[in-house]
């Protein structure tokens, strides 16, 4: 299994606002800064800001404070990630989750998530919730 971790959007939100929801091993890897977040997470926060928690009223400021200033590794969306989408079965329809899945596969990363639908893809995952 990969020692490189990619956080699903909800995991990043929990890490900031509700860390007790996270499994102990997930909290540890976050505390040790052994993870990356995708620029797709920023895209999702901007796109869904009306539905997002009250934590993210201003996605740009939130991203700067909790991602950029903490020097978190940010994974850009590259052509191989987008092209891999064509290989994905339609188990999950959310475009943000689908690009995270593609990025995790292409970059050989473990996707940290509490979304059970993602397990249907058979990719490396780490269960985020306690």
pLDDT of residue 130 exceeding 90, the answer is no
pLDDT in tens, 61-87: 999 999 999 999 999 999 999 999 999
pLDDT of residue 112 exceeding 70, the answer is yes
Q: Residue 2 has what pLDDT?
A: 45
pLDDT in tens, 1-53: 346 999 999 999 999 999 999 999 999 999 999 999 999 999 999 988 776 56
Mean pLDDT in residue range 79-106: 95
For residue 58, what are its two tokens?
């201003």
pLDDT of residue 55 exceeding 80, the answer is no
Three-state secondary structure string covering the chain: CCCCEEECHHHHHHHHHCHHHECHHHHHHHHCCCCEEEHHHHHHHHHCCCCCCHHHCCHHHHHHHHHHCCCCEEECCCHHHHHHHHHCCCCCCCHHHHHHHHHHHHCCCEEEECCHHHHHHCCCEEECEC
> Looking at the DSSP assignment, which residues form a beta bridge with residue 127?
113
Each as own residue / partner, the long-range contacts of residues 84-89 (CB below 8 Å, 24 or more positions apart, any chain) are: 88/121, 89/120, 89/121
Q: Residue 1 has what pLDDT?
A: 32
Q: How far apart, in whole angstroms, are the C-alpha atoms of residue 62 and residue 56? A: 6
**Sequence spans of domains, the chain:** 5-127
For residue 122, what are its two tokens?
């058979």
Q: How far apart, in whole angstroms, are the C-alpha atoms of residue 118 and residue 104? A: 11
Domain 5-127 in CATH 3.40.50.1010? yes
> Looking at the DSSP assignment, which residues form a beta bridge with residue 74?
37
């Amino acid at each position: 299994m990969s020692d490189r971790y990619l956080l699903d959007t909800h995991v990043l939100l929990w890490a900031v606002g509700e860390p007790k929801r996270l499994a102990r091993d997930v909290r540890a890897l976050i505390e040790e800064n052994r993870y990356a977040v995708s620029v797709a997470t920023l895209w999702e926060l901007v796109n869904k800001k009306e539905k997002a928690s009250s934590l993210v009223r201003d996605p740009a400021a939130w991203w700067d404070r909790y991602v950029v200033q903490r020097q978190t590794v940010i994974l850009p969306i590259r052509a191989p990630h987008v092209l891999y989408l064509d290989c994905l079965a339609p188990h999950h329809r959310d475009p943000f989750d689908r690009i995270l899945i593609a990025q995790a596969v292409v970059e050989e990363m473990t996707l940290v998530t509490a979304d059970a639908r993602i397990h249907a893809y058979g990719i490396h995952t780490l269960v985020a919730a306690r």
